[in-house]
Structure 1
Amino acid sequence: MNSRFAFSLTAAALSLGLAACSTVSLDDPGAGSGPSGSSGGTMDPFNPSSPLAKDRSVYFEFNSFTVEEQYRPTVENHARYLSSNPKQNILIEGNTDIRGGSEYNLALGHRRAEAVRRMMTLMGANDVQIETISFGKEKPRNLANTEAAHAENRRADIVYERQ
């Protein structure tokens, strides 16, 4: 390989690397933070200021187990962390609102937890790191009988196990 070609190849690689970097303004104190977790604390699920500690729930529409696009960054952050930490295990807890029978809600909660697990494995997490469980309507976050409370209870929660 001649030195001119090697230099061109190195320059191209550096250019691609720089192009992949964020173009977030350093003057904006809130820039780069948020659900994607591109900055604003280390990616540590046990650090309260980390996006992994703050964003641990994926919410669902009524009678649905489809992970909506707005929760993709949350799932992706957790999947990335798991793929970088192969000894870390999690539990995904599927939940529903109070409407519907117990058997139906246990099955729906299971489908919600499995949908998040599948998305994480497609994003690089190892399937053996993830366990799922359904609580159905037995573990509500909000006990009120309002639409807002129901929406808050239709979720899959990501729970990290201490190593």
Structure 2
Amino acid sequence: MKKILTIMLVGLVFSFLFVGCPKKAVKEEVIPPPPEEVEKPTPPPPPPEKPALVLETIHFDFDKYEIRPGDAEILKKNAEILKQYPDVKIIIEGHCCPIGTNEYNLGLGQRRANAAKEYLVKLGISPDRIETISYGEERLITTDPKEYWKNRRCEFKVKE
């Protein structure tokens, strides 16, 4: 019994010791104020895009490179558009139908492109703004002989 009393007494003394210890102080977590919003610089505007010019195609009679009256009107419209954009350069692509040899059609396509260029130059477009190329019969629109007229053309592309 003496042992039990001694154990109880020792337990009582320890319990008083632990009760008497100061409790750990709870640290209040300090929440920092939100950072001040710094005004972000606005990004510069995107560079202006090249204008989306739509220049009409002209057509030619079989085995010819002379500008037809109706196509002269189209070239006048194309020239007016080009005058509005003096920094734009173009490529005139000459095309042919598949009748004849490839070599002949390449030459005819070049003569057609050159005729269109000369006409635009007479209308006041600088020749430095115009390149020409011939594709001959390499880029056909149709292979139907009844529609070969669609292949006898000059297309106008804005140079990148």
Give the TM-score range, shorter chain: 0.5 to 0.7
Could you tell me how far apart the structure 2 residues matched to 1:101 and 1:62 are?
14
Q: TM-score, normalised by structure 2?
A: 0.65
Q: Does 1:160 align with 2:148?
A: no
- In the aligned structure 2, how far is the partner of 1:72 from the partner of 1:92? 15
The aligned counterpart of 2:32 is none
1:84 Cα deviation from its structure 2 partner:
3.2
Letter in 2 for 1:69: P
Q: Which residue in 1 is equivalent to 2:106?
A: 106
Residue 151 of structure 1 corresponds to: 149
Residue-by-residue CA offset, 1:105-147 (whole Å, 9 max, x unaligned): 0000000000000000000111001000000000101122x23
Deviations 1:32-91 (A, max 9, x none): xxxxxxxxxxxx972xxxxx62x5211000000011000122111211222332210111
How many residues are treated as equivalent by the alignment? 111
Q: TM-score, normalised by structure 1?
A: 0.64
Kindly tell me: are residues 114 and 45 of structure 1, through their superposed partners in 2, closer, same or farther at Cα, counting changes over 3 Å?
farther
Identical amino acids, percent of aligned pairs: 30
Unaligned runs of 5+ in 2: 1-49
Structure 1, unmatched stretches of 5+, are 1-43, 47-51
Q: Is the 8 A contact 1:60 1:67 kept in 2?
A: yes
Structure with the greater relative contact order (CA < 8 A, sep ≥ 6): 1 or 2?
A: 2
Aligned amino acid, residue 102 of structure 1 = N
Whole-Å separation in 2 of the counterparts to 1:95 and 1:88? 22
Matched letter for residue 78 of structure 1: N
Q: Classify the secondary structure of the residue corresponding to 2:118.
A: helix
Question: 1:45 and 1:73 mapped to 2: Cα distance?
Answer: 22
Correspondences of 1:57-68 after superposition (within 5 Å): 57-68=57-68
* Kept in 2: contact 1:79–1:123 (CA 8 A): yes
The structure that has the greater radius of gyration is 2
Alignment of 1:121-140 (within 5 A): 121-140=121-140
Give the distance between the partners of 2:151 and 2:110, measured in 1 at CA. Answer: 14
2:151 maps to a residue whose letter is N
What CA distance in whole angstroms lies between the structure 2 residues aligned with 1:161 and 1:114?
17
